[in-house]
Amino acid sequence: MGLYLLPRRWQRYREISRVLLRHGFGFLLESAGLRRLRWPPRRAVPSPPPAHHLRLALEELGPTFIKLGQVLSTRPDLIPPPFVAELARLQDRVPPFPAAEARHIIEEELGAPVEELFADFQEEPLAAASLSQVHGARLRTGEEVVLKVQRPGIEAQVATDLEILRRIARLAEERLPQAELYDLPGIVEEFGHTLHAEMDFRREANNAERFRHNFTGKPYLYIPRVYWEFTTHRVLTLERVYGLKIDDIPGLEAAGIDRHRVALHATDVVMQEIFQDGFFHADPHPGNFFVLPGDIIAAVDFGMVGYLSRSLREQLVSLLAAAVQMDTTALVQQLLRMSLVETGVDREGLRRDLERLLQAYAGRPLKELRAAAVLEEAMPIAFRRRLRLPAELWLLGKMLAMLEGVGTRLDPDFDPFAVARPYALRLLRESTSLSALTERFRSALLDWGELLLDFPLHTPTLFTRLQRGDWTVGVELRRTEGPLAVLDTLSLRLSLGILIAVGLVVAALFLRLLLVPGTWWSWLIVGAGGAALAGLLAAFVWTLRRTG
């Protein structure tokens, strides 16, 4: 397949080519068949490490590639650990765009001048990122709000970049044999869905509402109100909250905040998200959490979230139980049940790797374990053994590592496992309860019922293929000489035994005929039958001797 460039995309191809060349990744262009796009011809030789230059290149290429790097940082099954660690440091900070452009987008989306919509609008942005920037404002009714405004032209740029990534992924899959192992087009498509979802601010508003609903009755977590009448897919309006950043230790101490209670509340929030709700904040860096008076935590920025199904949560508890018991065999079996291990994986090698990992923490109290350290040691195993862990699990691991960092700063002696234990035990009890087992049995019966109902529909096709003779079964046998010889001997002996048994039955019937008076013709039957049986046995014995 060739590469055909539309005029509007030509400049972007040139820019990507130049950046990759400058950071020493020109070989990627050559491998993908894009050699003719290599400008300038001279090649810069960067100093190591390559992972550092990849991060710089992605930051230079802008929003789409920054987001792509952030997604790849959650996939240590695809890229080596040094690259995962470096991509996790990607900075999503860019210069702000003019306030006049923000005003234009707000007025275009909300259908009225800014002065009519708000009593006050702050020209100076509070924050700027690759996809949006945030302005402060005050409603006509007096409430203070923040407006998240999409960066102008970002949708067109993302569409162009995604099309380029799709073309490069297809070319790489055609030209690079190792690319088939990763399904690059599929990765790009999944990334595109994630990016489009993050650019739709109505989804973020729905996420905020869902968190607000999930934590109803939990006074220690505050979720800002969404103002739907001032929210569209390009503008998000939320209640403005004032507080101290959760990692501002001097500020918290000066305000008389109980740091232990804050750590307890933060951990309880995360455990409820994981074990109870299956819906978690996937970007929990300290800038997204503030502490209000009364040791209350306020969360902001709900664009990146993670989902854990009920079955996945139950499987995670089983996985954790096997790890705590240091049962590496059960650990591997659980990974297999979760379909996280490829078919041809070296199971014994995986078990040894996991055993070495667990032995490093044997005998240590749970509160001394560090999620960040465990995650860092697990990443090489995932990459080497090609474990296919869902992106949500890596997002979950990153979230726990961030929580751990913040919790350690708030209270170095805090034990997060003490908070997690009741949630895990409750989920374990629920998953093994009679009602849960009954529901699983009912679901299995429904599946079998559907299979039986569908069977008559497929039966004609089955018989048609059998009649045509195009039903084929592929079987590969290796090292079968010895087993086949044994089976051959057993089959011959079994046949001989069957013949002898038949002979005994026939002899019994003949004997019964002989005992009946007046049946002179029975002697003829006995003679003929005996001769035939003797002939069969003689022929069979002769065949055995001939074949050995």
What whole-number distance in Å separates Cα of residue 406 and Cα of residue 382?
A: 26
Q: Which helix (H) or strand (E) holds 134?
A: strand 132-139
Reduce the DSSP state of residue 76 to 3 states and report it.
coil
Reduce the DSSP state of residue 470 to 3 states and report it.
coil
Hey, CA dihedral for 352, 353, 355, 360, is it positive or negative?
Answer: positive
Longest Cα–Cα distance of the chain, Å, equals: 125
List own/partner pairs for 132-138 with CB under 8 A and 24 or more apart.
132/201, 133/96, 133/97, 133/102, 135/99, 135/102, 136/240, 137/237
How long is the chain? 548
Read off the amino acid at residue 493.
R
Number of C-beta neighbours around residue 323 at 10 A: 18
What whole-number distance in Å separates Cα of residue 491 and Cα of residue 479?
A: 20
Tell the residue number behind the tokens 């996280």, with chain if given: 340
Read off the amino acid at residue 244.
L
What whole-number distance in Å separates Cα of residue 397 and Cα of residue 418?
A: 18
What whole-number distance in Å separates Cα of residue 328 and Cα of residue 381?
A: 14
Residue 443 corresponds to which tokens in the numbers above? 């679901």
User: Is there a catalytic annotation at residue 77?
Assistant: no
Q: What are phi and psi of 280, to 5 degrees?
A: -135, 155
CB-count burial class (<10 Å; 0-12, 13-18, 19+) for 55: buried
List own/partner pairs for 181-188 with CB under 8 A and 24 or more apart.
181/386, 182/78, 187/78, 188/162
Q: Note if the bond before 48 is cis, omega within 30 degrees.
A: no
Contact yes or no for 381/387 (Cβ under 8 A): yes
What whole-number distance in Å separates Cα of residue 59 and Cα of residue 130?
A: 10
Could you give the C-alpha distances from 297 to 246, 336, 396, in angstroms and in order?
Answer: 8, 39, 20
Query: Which residues, in sequence order, are CB contacts of 62 under 8 Å at separation 6+?
Result: 94, 130, 157, 161
- DSSP assignment of 87-120 equals HTT-----PPPPHHHHHHHHHHHHSS-HHHHEEE
Tell the residue number behind the tokens 């465990």, with chain if given: 374
Read off the amino acid at residue 521.
W
- DSSP assignment of 396-441 equals HHHHHHHHHHHHHHH-TT--HHHHHHHHHHHHHHHHTSHHHHHHHH
Q: Out of 77, 268, 283, 353, which one is annotated catalytic?
A: 283
- Catalytic residue numbers, as ranges: 283
